[in-house]
Structure 1
Amino acid sequence: MSAPPALSRPRTTTRLIGIALAYFMVLLDTTVLAVAEPDLIASLDTDILGVGWATTVYTMTLASTLVLGGSLADRLGAYRLFLAGVIGFGAASLACACAHGLPALLVCRGLLGVFAAAIVSSSLGLIASLYPEPGPRGGAISAWAAISGAAMAAGPVLGGRLIELDGWRLIFVINAPLAAVVLLLCRTRISTPHHERPISWLPHLGLAAGLAALTLTITEAGQRNWPFAGLLGCVTLALAAGTAAIDRRSAAPLIPHTLRHNTAVWTAFGWGAVVNYALTTVLFALPLLLHTTAVEAGTTLLPMTLLVALNPPLTARLAAAYGSLYPIRMGFAAFPAGLCVTAFALAGDHRPIVLGIGLLLCGLGISWTLPALVGFVVDHAPPDATGAVGGILNATRQIGATVAAAVAGATLTQHSAGGWAAAPLTIAAALCALGFCSAVLAKPGRSRTPSGQPQGDALSEL
């Protein structure tokens, strides 16, 4: 009776590698685009605001469909949703590569965000089915996070090389063979439970419309079109209020009722948005401010991206030993310092050593903070809502990224007109400083993770 498990172990590992490679593909698409911005501007005859939209459309659709993806995974099965996400991501990537103008690229990037949400929402469910025992599952999730987290380090450098070879279109073409490899590795069906849970579509649509209106508001304000920006701001507030009212009465709300008044959990959601805001600001602004080649821009980002890929296991040990709040405080101390040093390095004469130190501090800020956030929200969330907090945390992080790209695009446009280049980094530093103050005042929760066990869910947040 012991033979079947032994025989199935290599197949299980193969499928785990496929799931990790799919998430690697999603993260790679985010990071490689950062160094492609100058080439996009020249090729599509657009400007900073145009490439800003190429980033925000992706994060907007990802943020507004992540929670929906979790519901669909429950109803349709995580394996079905995962396959649909991988196939769609590969096809939409090829469509991006074939886009002949900015509008077509934006449509395809929006589709990429939808399919990325399907992959992210289904991945952990598949791993839980492959590894039902807590011990092996923790190790599997840590390995998955390490493989997928390597995209953060590889993305800018690989993207720079691909752009040097054949322009920005190649960074999307590469996703098609990656998707084919994932489908090959995961061709054997993975059985996952189905739950006939209702889905309320209006809150999801309201979230997407509200994010789009908010992004437009920031863009118009950046261009100093104040009357239209004010009108769009009112529309954004109306959509937010309407979506919240509809969600409260929904049979399947975006926000579970037990989380609505949980201050600690909402504080953690805010931290996630701030960290992603700062990360996206660096990835978006730095290649545009360096005025260098894509390869050099990708190499410059390595002090930050390598730490994001390699440091989470240490963060998991710190959280297991001292609680998840400890590395969160460390991260929010390092991040604003790193952003300020980076801004200083970019002001006036280029200072590569100072820039490297700043990016190193930013990498510490990200790699200490993000992996501990899930542990913190799980410690403070009621047991019946732990499944929802991961999806909401991911969504709020992508909302932070969406706003960051919009603000950075607007402020850098003013830089082109004579404004201060370091403005987006300074804004991000101020937000991280507020995050540090709130982390100092926060209280640790009662951990429900056994001491020493890898915080796999936290690592997955990378």
Structure 2
Amino acid sequence: VAGDEGDGGTALHPRLTLLAVCLAVFMLLLDMTIVSAALANIQATLDADLSGLQWVVDAYALPMAGLLLTAATLGDRLGRRRLYLGGMAAFTLASAGCALARSIEMLNLCRALQGSGGAILLGVSLPMVAAAFPEQRGRGIAIAIYGAVMGAGAAVGPLLGGALVGAFGWESIFLINVPIGAVALVIAVRFVPETRAAQDRPLDLVGTAVLSAALFAGVYALIEGNHRGWTDGVILALGAFSVLGLLAFGWWESRVSAPMLDLGVVRRPGFAGVSLAAFAAAGTLIAATNYLALYFMNTLGYSPFQSGLRALPLTVACVLGAPLAMTAARYFPAWTSIPGGVALIAVGLWLMTGVGESTQWTHFIAGSVVAGLGLGGLFALTSDIALQFVPVADAGMATGAVSTVRQVGILAGVAGLGALFGPRASASATHELAQLGVLGPGAARRLIDSVSAGAGLRVLDFLPADYRPALPAIARAARQASAAGMQAALVAAAVAATAAAVATAILIAVGARRHGEPEIPFAEGMSV
């Protein structure tokens, strides 16, 4: 990379550097989706409500969103290999801590530590690849492999998680990171050279603190709003603080001499379109998979492994989507690739809607295939196309910004879809149980709260023996309520993805006209 310098103490092994980076990003993306297979077991074992389960996902994504850009700057100054080693060690140890957690609070604390280590790894990953492959063609292919591995990590999570949970318990989805992390550390210590930027950029600690605080306040308000009430003073105050914090972050970044996020880059239409696509994919499809997993296990009654098998259409399509998108980039204008991926996600989500009491898992196959192809293509193309809309000097910040908005998308999607799932399921359960009239007020309230937390038919396990004769009718009510919550989440995700597809197409088309047609380095020489 122009402008980078190395210590020269280690022979350059570009493919081993790429391997070390790919092991890291595979684990990072795997841990975003693998937990979906364990949520039902975590809920039962640790007695967690829906907000606790939402924090299992968001406690991981929050520090990654807030710290990623600062981690990239630290890597430029202190050395990317050094940061990689520290981040991998922290991530691996935190994974072991997750496996040992015996309360939902301790699990979520360890997930936050995991996310902090992940932010460091993700922040230095692409700069390490760029430094290892200085030539444009080789770098383009390496970045494409990097994106494909990210997509594969996200895609195989539900299946691998289901197999592990079914065989060894939910703790195993975290323990699997320990040997992978150990192998990655050995490769990095022995074969990865140290690199850093030739010119140091000052740390933007104020921007990091303001962004992290604003994101935390907003996510907390979205997750806890159902429980505390949307007019609760704390929720309103946190919501206002989040909005003001994001405005303050934008104000600060526009004035500081060395911002963590250059707003001039973000305002470029083409780059804004690519960033919106990353946000939308994470906030709609990836976020929705967590609720689909709960639905498969708790309402349709499948085991974690059976649920993972039923996620195979999405998994396979996502894996195939990456090479298909890379091949399509040879024949179609590059600016159509990103909006096309978001459009496929939108179409797939619309195909998944229409969930009702009698809906079976086969209803989701077609939508999973279509959406999976779009997601896989976006993972392969997003980072590289984003670079085509920014100056070379801003490449590191650009890729970090795309990764950051992807994490923000997960934060907003998991919290936002949960804010729709819970109330809709609660309203349906309240209506159905009132029609039945067989449960007392206390028992009905407990059942409604459990259904709105995603417990599905597991609520039947907690009913007193006096209500056993009414079990079939109560089961129908629970299925209907769960389906109503799932339908509300999927419709919202589909609407958001549709709007994002249109906006992305407009922004990238404008960016392509202003800056010329983006060229994708790996589009040539695909046989390499």
For normalisation by structure 2, the TM-score amounts to 0.79
Tell me the SS of whatever aligns to 1:123. Answer: helix
**Which 4+ runs in 1 deviate beyond 4 A?**
none
Q: Look up the match of 2:476.
A: none
Secondary structure of the structure 1 residue equivalent to 2:48: coil
Q: Which residue of 2 aligns with 1:200?
A: 204
2:183 is matched with 181
Q: Counterpart of 1:405?
A: 414
Deviation (angstroms), 1:70: 0.9
* Equivalence for 2:436: none
Task: Measure the CA separation in 2 of the matches of 1:133 and 1:440.
Answer: 30
The answer to which of 133-142 and 426-435 deviates more is 133-142
Q: Give the Cα–Cα distance (whole angstroms) in 1 for the partners of residues 136 and 128 of structure 2.
A: 14
Counterpart residue type for residue 378 of structure 1: L
Q: CA deviation at 1:276?
A: 0.8
One-letter code aligned to 1:337: V
> Superposition pairs for residues 8-407 of structure 1, below 5 Å?
12-188=14-190, 189-194=192-197, 195-223=199-227, 224-228=229-233, 229-259=235-265, 261-290=267-296, 291=298, 292-344=302-354, 346-407=355-416
Q: Aligned pair in 2 of structure 1 residues 137, 432: CA closer, same or farther (>3 Å)? A: same
Contact between 2:148 and 2:319, CA under 8 Å: does it hold in 1?
yes
8 Å CA contact 2:144–2:384 kept in 1: the answer is: no
Consecutive unaligned residues of structure 2, counting only runs of 5 or more, are 1-10, 429-483
State the distance in 1 between where 2:303 and 2:359 align: 15
Backbone CA RMSD of aligned residues:
2.4
One-letter code aligned to 1:244 = G
The size of the alignment, in residue pairs, is 448
Q: Deviations 1:176-209 (Å, cap 9, x if unpaired)?
A: 1111111122222413134322002011111111
CA distance in 2, matches of 1:95, 1:455: 44
Q: Distance in 1 between matches of 2:94 and 2:386?
A: 34
State the secondary structure of the residue aligned to 2:189.
coil
**Using the alignment, how far apart are the partners of 1:236 and 1:148 within structure 2?**
30
Determine the C-alpha separation between the residues in 2 that align with 1:144 and 1:124: 8
* C-alpha separation in 2, matches of 1:179 and 1:39: 25
Deviation at 1:257, TM superposition (A): 4.8
Q: Distance in 1 between matches of 2:492 and 2:154?
A: 23
SS at match of 1:353: helix
8 Å CA contact 2:143–2:384 kept in 1: the answer is: no
Distance 2:344 2:200 in 1: 45
Q: Which has the larger radius of gyration?
A: 2
Q: Kindly indicate whether residue 519 of structure 2 is the aligned counterpart of residue 449 of structure 1.
A: yes
Percent of paired sites with the same residue: 26
Partner SS, residue 353 of structure 2: helix
Q: Please tell me whether the aligned partners of residues 307 and 367 of structure 1 are also in contact (alpha carbons under 8 angstroms).
A: yes
Q: State the secondary structure of the residue aligned to 1:193.
A: strand
CA apart distance, 1:440: 4.0
Change (3 A) 1:153 1:173: same
CA distance in 1, matches of 2:154, 2:386: 24
- CA–CA separation in structure 2 for the residues paired with 1:161 and 1:370: 24
Change (3 A) 1:321 1:116: same
Amino acid at match of 1:13: R
Equivalent pair of 1:139/1:454 in contact (CA under 8 Å):
no
Deviation (angstroms), 1:260:
5.2
State the AA in 2 paired with 1:405. Answer: V
- Structure 1 unaligned runs (5+)? 1-7, 457-462
**Which 10-residue stretch deviates more, 397-406 or 321-330?**
321-330
> 1:383 offset after TM fit, Å?
4.1
Secondary structure in 2 matching 1:350: coil
Rounded to whole Å, the distance in 2 between the matches of 1:450 and 1:337 is 26
